[in-house]
């Protein structure tokens, strides 16, 4: 697990990323991981677990030692998926996560509401301030107890939005065509 250290700049503590890790690269990879989940079609327990371990976990590992208020309540926790997962329950969890992600992207792209969702998430501790060894400031996604899958994806997206707003905008500017693609996939999955 990568180790991060705390730096204080202007009186605000921020995690210091390990040497060679760029904050913008972590944020960019977060959007890429979110896109992989959004485009994931017909996922079962195995595919979701692979995404959580392979794409999500390495990104939130940088903030593993961040002081977080784990008393923060998120939406009521979904029923535990346990060892046996009903396909319908997993489909509902994935549908909820994708819907949350799309709403956050849309909000972040609207000129009049650009920062509302991002700063609200900061208050909820979905991201934490950090900087890389070059002194570049940004935000890291976090992994907290009781976070739903949707909040985990939102954390990845907001990390990118707050760290590199212009890059986020260019990355997600094709949202209407992505939404169309996801709608077609959703309709196909329901008939299969």
pLDDT in tens, the chain (192 residues): 445 455 555 556 788 999 999 999 999 999 999 999 998 888 999 999 999 999 999 999 999 877 665 555 545 444 445 556 688 899 999 999 999 999 888 888 876 655 666 666 666 678 889 999 999 999 999 998 878 999 999 999 999 999 999 999 998 888 777 777 766 656 555 555
Helix pair angle (116-123, 149-163), 10° resolution: 120
Phi, psi of 174 (to 5 degrees): -90, 25
> Residue with structure tokens 């009049």?
112
Instruction: Answer yes or no: are the C-beta atoms of 4 and 16 closer than 8 Å.
Output: yes
* d(C-alpha 61, C-alpha 77), whole Å: 23
Q: Which pLDDT score, from 0 to 100, does residue 83 have?
A: 55
* d(C-alpha 88, C-alpha 91), whole Å: 5
- Rounded alpha-carbon distances, angstroms, from residue 28 to 53, 156, 163, 169, 180: 18, 9, 9, 12, 23
Partners of 168 in the beta sheet?
none
Q: Is 166 helix (H, G, I), strand (E, B) or coil?
A: helix
Q: Which pLDDT score, from 0 to 100, does residue 7 have?
A: 57
* d(C-alpha 163, C-alpha 159), whole Å: 6
* d(C-alpha 107, C-alpha 79), whole Å: 28
pTM score, two decimals?
0.81
Please, which residues have CB within 8 angstroms of residue 23's CB and are 6 or more apart in sequence? 17, 130, 131, 132, 136, 137, 138, 140, 163
Q: Which pLDDT score, from 0 to 100, does residue 106 have?
A: 86
Instruction: Answer yes or no: are the C-beta atoms of 142 and 155 closer than 8 Å.
Output: yes
């Amino acid at each position: 697990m990568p180790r991060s250290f705390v730096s204080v700049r202007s009186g605000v503590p921020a995690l210091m990323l390990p040497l060679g890790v760029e904050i913008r690269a972590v944020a960019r990879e977060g959007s890429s991981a979110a896109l992989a989940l959004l485009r994931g079609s017909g996922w079962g327990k195995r595919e979701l677990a692979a995404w959580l371990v392979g794409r999500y976990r390495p990104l939130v590992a940088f903030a593993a030692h961040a002081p977080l208020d784990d008393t923060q309540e998120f939406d009521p926790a979904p029923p535990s998926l346990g060892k046996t997962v009903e396909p319908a329950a997993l489909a509902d969890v994935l549908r909820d996560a994708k819907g949350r992600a799309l709403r956050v992207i849309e909000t972040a792209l609207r000129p009049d509401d650009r920062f509302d969702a991002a700063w609200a998430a900061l208050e909820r501790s979905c991201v934490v301030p950090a900087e890389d060894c070059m002194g570049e400031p940004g935000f890291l996604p976090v992994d907290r107890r009781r976070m739903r899958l949707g909040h985990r994806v939102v954390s990845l997206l907001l990390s990118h939005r707050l760290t590199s707003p212009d890059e986020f905008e260019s990355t997600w500017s094709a949202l209407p065509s992505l939404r169309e693609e996801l709608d077609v996939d959703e309709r196909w999955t329901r008939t299969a």
